[in-house]
């Protein structure tokens, strides 16, 4: 008889793999990518490709140098690249995009041990680093192609800035994403479709996006803003559905997720109400990322039967 | 059909919703395979440690003649159980041998004469609680669902009990042994149920069966609707099929809504839980006084040529059973005693069947495959899968750091090693192994 394999139970495993989860996230991001090409033109595809390529190559080189296993097949670098690209203006010089992507992968992800070990969202840090290094290029918003007239690209302001200047923004523009802004953040419909896909595939629980968006709507409403326009602009959908739900940097229990999402929504609202920086979403998620380990500790489950429940007491 | 006139033919719904668990494939290929009796193998190796508690003490020596039902291992002091010969023949050796769990124990090897001559059995007189406990102790019956806890102890609870929960969930893939017990031996089950109910003054009896076994539910509904149950207190509960609904604490919670606190026993919440085959065996013993010497097993898996249910003499080796069932269609790469979720993979096919074995599976190269694990991505699937509400990913982090306090505060002792967490983990972390290691460091303190 051949040598038998002896290993711990269970001897069968479910179908879920890290790669499949990442693939689902990529699939969920496709609609927003397609929308960005329609809205901002082919250059948006170029930015996306640059970021993804840079992320994958950085990961490959980094793992080689650190003498660790090659992990590009888990597709998480592709996700990071995509998310960073979606957080950049379409007009960004490609080399800047490449740097941002490399920083996200090398400094934020791999230097902390790779997938699952980073404590803040790599793509968001990539964005913040670019924002602070190349402020001008990072706030250069091109008007969507359908509103362009001449040969020269006309610039515009983001809906959030327009609203704070008192200009009315059309809901349809927000829904379809035909506004100024980062290339993947504008089209609300595409992002929501992706989010629904992720929930159906059980990749994310709806707790974080719903509570995050709900909190923001509520707080901005009480502050006298238009909650609908607020939730559909400023990258909130992209942040709430795709960035705040990153496994490594968000709490694991449902209660933890709710607390975290309320935190995200509250900080985003405060930044919008009292401050004027456009990337409120990025900062609030990063802040809550940092708080996540504490939330995790506070919302730890008690083993089954430890809590006296109603109807017990026998 | 409804002899009592009042009896509701309906099954009842779970009293509480159990959290966690995973959807495992059912693969109940053998549900329609009626049990086949395996004739005596040439030799049997009967282990002296087939139950939780102290191993039995060999009371025969080399050269002794034995019959089916001859006492060969007498119960040790304290928690233990007697062990009887499963064949007739001659004791050829008393030695040390390996159990499916990898532990060593004394074993008695018997050369069979192939005749299966039986001792004379007389049905026990059981009119009082004490007589029942004595009879069950003498029968050698232990928890046959896999746990192997001596059954007579369950019948003498230290706290008052009002409920008998009968576990027929059989939530492990492949296994249909309990299912066949319901279909083939419902009379035995009922005989035991009514006896226990009467003598222990049990107020309600709940059969818990998963909804993927409609025939078993119908069968039970049919047999419990007889006139013995005048006050309608024996009921059948249908639970959603989800692994591990058959775990003791989960079954009690679903059946009664009572939660067994960490470190407590079912009796502390007024319940006795018994596996359905255990009850069937008690019923048979009450009828004819023949102790537990054989066991029904499901033989299945991707390497097995003819999946089937067989009743085998206890002590038969895996190799003999596979030979009887017609061998392998593909070379086996892994042999498992028990189900694929909680069973033990064994290093060779000479390991014998014990009282609590309920399945023997063999998988080929293709199914076993190579499972390479990658880093935890903190997806939280293990947390939502754990029926005990533990946090396996956090336990793994603490285990790596060797942080005993953290492990204690995470309640690692409550882990029942059901494997739900590892089943659903996308990174294929070996979480059950981690749990065992973690429990070891916690227990060392
Ligand atoms: S299921 Fe696996 S990958 Fe997910 S949190 Fe648990 S251990 Fe980590
Ligand atoms: S093996 Fe332990 S930790 Fe994992 S799901 Fe089962 S009880 Fe929970």
Q: Does the C-beta of B392 come closer than 6 Å to ligand 1?
A: yes
What's the B377 CA to ligand 1 centre distance in angstroms? Answer: 6
Q: Is the pLDDT of residue A312 over 60?
A: no
Which protein residues are within 6 Å of ligand 2, measured from CB?
A: B 385-386, 388, 390, 392, 415-421, 431-432, 435
What's the B432 CA to ligand 2 centre distance in angstroms? Answer: 7
What is residue A278's predicted lDDT score, i.e. its pLDDT? 63
Are B164 and B349 spatial neighbours (Cβ–Cβ below 8 Å)?
no
What token pair was written down for B215?
């025939």
Our mutation pick for probing the ligand 2 site, out of B432, B434, B438, B439, counting the most ligand atoms within 8 A of Cβ, is B432
Query: For A8, which of B380, B390, B430 is closest by C-beta distance?
Result: B430
- For residue B244, give the ligand 2 atom closest to its CA: 6
Flag if B334 and A4 touch (Cβ within 8 Å): yes
Cis peptide leading into residue B244 (ω within 30°): yes
pLDDT digits (tens, 9 = 90+) for A170-209: 888 888 888 888 999 999 999 999 999 999 999 999 999 9
In a domain, A23, yes or no: yes
Flag if A12 and B390 touch (Cβ within 8 Å): no
Which residues in chain B are closer than 8 Å to A293, comparing Cβ atoms?
none
- Between strands B294-300 and B359-364, the pairing is parallel
How many Cα atoms sit within 13 Å of B425 on the Cβ side? Answer: 27
What is residue B5's predicted lDDT score, i.e. its pLDDT? 41
What is residue A311's predicted lDDT score, i.e. its pLDDT? 42
What's the B431 CA to ligand 1 centre distance in angstroms? Answer: 9
Task: Collect all residues with Cβ–Cβ distance below 8 Å to A224 and sequence separation of at least 6.
Answer: none
> Would you place residue A313 in the very low, low, confident or very high pLDDT band (cuts 50, 70, 90)?
very low
DSSP for residue B22: B
Which residues in chain B are closer than 8 Å to A314, comparing Cβ atoms?
258, 269-270
Task: Collect all residues with Cβ–Cβ distance below 8 Å to B74 and sequence separation of at least 6.
Answer: B56, B57, B59, B82
pLDDT digits (tens, 9 = 90+) for A27-45: 999 999 999 999 999 999 9
Flag if B379 and A312 touch (Cβ within 8 Å): no
Flag if A12 and B24 touch (Cβ within 8 Å): yes
Q: Does the C-beta of B391 come closer than 6 Å to ligand 1?
A: no
What pTM did the predictor assign? 0.89
Domain boundaries, chain B: 2-31+123-288, 40-115+293-367, 381-444
Q: Does the C-beta of B425 come closer than 6 Å to ligand 1?
A: yes
Ligand closest to A18 (CA) is: 1
Task: Collect all residues with Cβ–Cβ distance below 8 Å to B75 and sequence separation of at least 6.
Answer: B54, B56, B57, B81, B82, B137
DSSP for residue B244: T
Neighbours of A151 (CB within 10 A): 5
Tokens 């996230």 belong to which residue?
A: A25
Distances in Å between the alpha carbon of B338 and those of A145, A261, B144, B146, B256? 65, 44, 11, 7, 28
Chains A and B form CB pairs within 8 A to the count of 158
What's the B253 CA to ligand 2 centre distance in angstroms? Answer: 17
What is residue B2's predicted lDDT score, i.e. its pLDDT? 34
Our mutation pick for probing the ligand 2 site, out of B390, B422, B430, B434, counting the most ligand atoms within 8 A of Cβ, is B390
Distances in Å between the alpha carbon of A307 and those of A6, A302, B415? 38, 7, 17
The CATH fold assigned to B2-31+123-288 is: Rossmann fold (3.40.50)
Quote the CA–CA distance of B152 and B167 in Å, as a whole number: 17
**Helix, coil or strand: residue B360:** strand
- Between strands B344-346 and B36-37, the pairing is unpaired
Quote the CA–CA distance of B290 and B123 in Å, as a whole number: 8
**Helix, coil or strand: residue A66:** coil
Q: Residue A98: which domain range?
A: 19-143+157-299
- Give the rounded percent of residues in chain A with a pLDDT score beyond 70: 94
Quote the CA–CA distance of B206 and B113 in Å, as a whole number: 43
Of the candidates B47, B246, B75, the residue with the CA atom closest to the CA atom of residue B151: B75
- For residue B424, give the ligand 1 atom closest to its CA: 1
What architecture does CATH give domain B40-115+293-367? Roll (3.10)
Quote the CA–CA distance of B153 and B267 in Å, as a whole number: 11
Residue located nearest, by CA, to atom 6 of ligand 1: B382
Which residues in chain B are closer than 8 Å to A311, comparing Cβ atoms?
16, 257
Q: What is the mean pLDDT of residues A151-169?
A: 77
What's the A44 CA to ligand 2 centre distance in angstroms? Answer: 46
Mean pLDDT by 10 residues, chain B (445 residues): 48 86 92 92 94 92 93 91 94 92 92 92 91 94 86 90 92 93 92 91 92 89 74 86 89 93 91 94 94 95 94 95 94 93 93 93 85 88 94 93 91 93 94 94 82
Of the candidates B386, B379, B381, the residue with the CA atom closest to the CA atom of residue B435: B386
**Nearest-CA distance A14 → chain B (Å):** 5
Number of domains in chain A: 1
Distances in Å between the alpha carbon of A22 and those of A74, A254, B50, B374? 7, 21, 46, 14
pLDDT digits (tens, 9 = 90+) for A219-230: 999 998 888 988
Flag if A11 and B378 touch (Cβ within 8 Å): no
> Would you place residue A302 in the very low, low, confident or very high pLDDT band (cuts 50, 70, 90)?
confident
**Nearest-CA distance A193 → chain B (Å):** 21
Flag if A12 and B422 touch (Cβ within 8 Å): no
Average pLDDT, chain A: 90
Flag if B260 and A248 touch (Cβ within 8 Å): no
Burial group, residue A132, by CB count within 10 angstroms (0-12, 13-18, 19+): exposed
What is residue B101's predicted lDDT score, i.e. its pLDDT? 87
Quote the CA–CA distance of A123 and A112 in Å, as a whole number: 14
Flag if A13 and B270 touch (Cβ within 8 Å): no
């Amino acid at each position: 008889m051949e040598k038998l394999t002896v290993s711990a139970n269970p001897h069968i495993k479910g179908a879920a793999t890290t790669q499949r989860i990442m693939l689902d996230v990529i699939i969920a991001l496709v609609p927003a990518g397609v929308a960005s090409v329609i809205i901002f033109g082919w250059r948006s595809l170029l930015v996306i490709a640059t970021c993804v390529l840079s992320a994958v190559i950085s990961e490959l080189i980094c793992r080689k140098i650190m003498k660790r296993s090659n992990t590009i097949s888990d597709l998480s670098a592709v996700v990071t690249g995509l998310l960073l690209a979606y957080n950049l203006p379409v007009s960004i010089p490609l080399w800047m995009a490449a740097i941002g992507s490399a920083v996200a992968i090398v400094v934020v992800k791999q230097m902390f041990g790779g997938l699952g070990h980073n404590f803040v969202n790599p793509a968001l840090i990539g964005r913040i680093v670019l924002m602070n290094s190349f402020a001008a290029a990072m706030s250069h918003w091109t008007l969507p192609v359908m509103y362009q007239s001449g040969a020269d690209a006309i610039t515009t302001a983001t809906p959030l800035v327009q609203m704070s200047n008192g200009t009315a923004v059309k809901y349809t523009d927000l829904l379809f994403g035909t506004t100024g802004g980062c290339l993947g953040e504008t089209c609300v419909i595409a992002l929501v479709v992706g989010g629904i896909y992720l929930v159906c595939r059980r990749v994310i629980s709806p707790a974080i996006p719903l509570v995050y968006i709900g909190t923001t709507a509520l707080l901005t409403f009480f502050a006298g803003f238009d909650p609908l326009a607020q939730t559909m602009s400023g990258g909130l959908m992209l942040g709430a559905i795709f960035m705040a739900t990153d496994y490594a940097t968000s709490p694991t229990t449902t209660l933890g997720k709710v607390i975290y999402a309320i935190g995200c929504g509250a900080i985003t609202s405060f930044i919008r109400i009292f401050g004027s920086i456009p990337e409120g979403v990025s900062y609030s998620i990063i802040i809550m990322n940092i708080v996540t380990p504490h939330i995790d500790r506070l919302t730890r489950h008690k083993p089954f039967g430890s809590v006296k429940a109603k109807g017990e007491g026998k | 059909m409804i002899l009592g006139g009042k009896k509701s033919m309906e099954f009842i719904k779970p009293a509480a919703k159990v959290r966690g668990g995973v959807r495992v494939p059912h693969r109940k290929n053998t549900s329609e395979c009626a049990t086949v009796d395996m004739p005596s193998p040439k030799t049997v190796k009967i282990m002296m440690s087939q139950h939780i508690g102290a191993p039995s003490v060999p009371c025969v020596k080399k050269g002794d003649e034995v019959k089916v039902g001859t006492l060969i291992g007498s119960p040790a002091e304290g928690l233990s159980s007697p062990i009887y010969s499963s064949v007739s023949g001659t004791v050829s050796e008393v030695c040390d041998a390996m159990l499916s769990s990898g532990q060593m124990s004394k074993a008695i090897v018997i050369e069979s004469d192939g005749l299966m001559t039986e001792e004379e059995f007389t049905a026990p007189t059981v009119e009082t609680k004490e007589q029942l406990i004595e009879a069950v102790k003498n029968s050698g019956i232990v928890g046959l669902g896999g746990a192997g806890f001596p059954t007579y102890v369950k019948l003498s609870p230290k706290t008052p009990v009002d409920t008998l929960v009968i576990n027929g969930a059989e939530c492990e893939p492949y296994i249909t042994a309990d299912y066949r017990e319901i279909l083939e031996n419902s009379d035995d089950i009922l005989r035991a149920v009514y006896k226990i109910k009467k003598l222990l003054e049990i107020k309600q009896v709940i059969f818990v069966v998963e909804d993927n076994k409609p025939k078993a539910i119908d069968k039970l509904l049919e047999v419990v609707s007889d006139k013995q149950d005048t006050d309608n207190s024996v009921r059948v509960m249908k639970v959603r099929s989800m692994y591990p609904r058959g775990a003791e604490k989960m079954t009690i919670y679903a059946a009664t809504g009572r939660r067994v606190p960490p470190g407590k026993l079912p009796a502390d919440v007024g319940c006795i839980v018994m596996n359905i085959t255990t009850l069937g065996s008690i019923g048979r013993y009450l009828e004819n006084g023949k102790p537990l010497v054989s066991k029904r097993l499901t033989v299945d898996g991707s390497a097995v040529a003819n999946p089937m249910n067989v009743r085998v003499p206890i002590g038969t080796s895996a190799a003999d059973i596979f030979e009887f069932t017609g061998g392998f269609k593909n070379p086996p790469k892994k042999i498992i005693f028990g189900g694929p979720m909680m069973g033990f993979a064994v290093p060779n096919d000479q390991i014998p069947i014990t009282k609590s074995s309920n399945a023997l599976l063999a998988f080929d190269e293709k199914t076993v495959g190579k499972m390479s694990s990658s880093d935890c991505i903190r997806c939280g699937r293990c947390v939502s899968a754990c029926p005990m509400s533990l946090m396996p990913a956090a336990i793994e982090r603490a285990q790596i750091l060797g942080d005993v306090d953290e492990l204690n505060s995470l309640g690692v002792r409550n882990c029942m090693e059901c494997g739900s967490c590892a089943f659903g983990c996308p990174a294929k972390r070996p979480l059950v192994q981690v749990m065992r290691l973690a429990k070891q460091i916690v227990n060392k303190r």
